[in-house]
Amino acid sequence: MLFAPPDEPNLSAMASSTASNRWLDEHGDALFRYAYSRLRDEHAAEDLVQETLLAAWRARHQFAGNSSERTWLVGILKHKLADHWRRRARESKTFEPPPDGDDAGQDDLLTRIFDAAANDHWRSTPSAWRDPDAALEQQQFWRVFADCLARLPPAQAQAFSLWEIDGVTGSDACKVLEIAPTNLWVMLHRARLRLRQCLESRWFEPTSKG
Amino acid sequence: MLTCKEASLLVSQSIDRRLSWRERWGVRAHLFICAACRRFKRHMEFLHRAAREYAAEGLRTVHRYGLSAAARDRVRQALAREL
């Protein structure tokens, strides 16, 4: 034959197109739920599903097949989530550079909270929270919680998210974050100090006492 | 005696790892005399519970639905453009 089969590239494109559409059909809902459970924002979650499937499509040759498609796609989604948090943190005015090693930013947080001149007492004493368990029943509380989480420096948000929310083991979390365990405890502590402050000011004491 | 700064760090770490005998003793002595850190400890326990509840609650909320038809179409078009 002197002529090449004319439609071959298109045929393979069509076959692949059905593959990515199949991902959407089979895993779209699950990916959306996962993203939504982390973000509490429908549109952002939809965007992440799209980004995830596009990234998966571009990286389709890297799918080794030694994990399930679902696991592979969720793995990509987790990266997209981390990117999303990083973007949010950069946009947010409250963003502080993430701690790497013992930079000044780290001490800043603790210096703001504890008064070195007064034997490291709380500058502002943690207040008594009224009925915290009732908060867990309220939709609005979870939006505040998600927002406070989004305001953390990205590395801390990721540490807290992996360890406290996803229940990833310490050694796995350290591998993902590329840090030593002692560093993980410190990051978690900082994340908690910030989350505590954020929840206190945004939920437990929404109006300042006059 | 531990400072509030030190005690709060150990309170936080007690969620993540088993404290040594000496650390536990130090925290207990500090909490005995410090109402602020006792409150902080309750907040940390709450935060721990809330974090575990957070993912579960999110899944319950969206369990009834997944991607909307409109979102699904948008994603499908985006994928088609990529070919």
Band the pLDDT of B60: cuts 50, 70, 90. Answer: low
Distance CA(A186)–CA(A156), nearest Å, equals: 9
Residues from chain A that touch B66, judged by Cβ atoms under 8 A, are 28-30, 32-33
Give the gap in angstroms from C-alpha B28 to the nearest C-alpha of chain A: 17
- The mean pLDDT value for B13-18 works out to 91
**pLDDT at residue A106 greater than cutoff 70:** no
Q: What pTM does this model have?
A: 0.66
| Distance between A125 CA and the closest CA of chain B, angstroms | 6
Per-residue confidence (pLDDT) for residue B63, from 0 to 100: 58
Burial class of A204 by CB neighbour count within 10 A (0 to 12, 13 to 18, 19+): buried
Q: How far apart are CA B79 and CA B19, in angstroms?
A: 51
The verdict on a CB contact (< 8 Å) between B78 and A50 is yes
Q: Name beta bridge partners: A122.
A: A114
CA distance A114 to chain B (A): 6
C-alpha–C-alpha distance, residues A76 and A68, integer Å? 13
Hey, are the CB atoms on B16 and A40 less than 8 Å from each other? no
Chain A residue with minimal CA distance to B55? A37
Question: Using one digit for the tens of pLDDT, what is the confidence trace for A154-197?
Answer: 778 878 887 887 777 777 778 777 788 888 888 999 999 999 99
Residue A12 CA: distances (Å) to CA of A3, A18, A22, B36, B82 = 18, 10, 15, 66, 14
Given a contact cutoff of 8 angstroms between Cβ atoms, the answer to whether A203 and A135 are in contact is yes
pLDDT of residue A31: 92
Q: Find chain A residues with C-beta within 8 A of B79's C-beta.
A: 17, 20-21, 24, 53-54, 57
What is d(CA A73, CA A80) in angstroms, rounded to the nearest whole number?
11
A101, pLDDT greater than 90: no
Q: Are A35 and B60 in contact (CB under 8 A)?
A: no
Question: What tokens appear for A65 in the block?
Answer: 């097949």
* pLDDT (0 to 100) of residue A27: 92
Q: Judge whether A121 and A193 are in contact, CB under 8 Å.
A: no
Which residues are CB-neighbours of A9 under 8 A, at least 6 positions away?
A: none
Reported as a single tens digit per residue, the pLDDT across A55-93 is 999 988 888 777 788 999 999 998 898 788 777 666 654
Residues 6+ apart with CB under 8 A from B54: A37, A142, A145, A146, A165
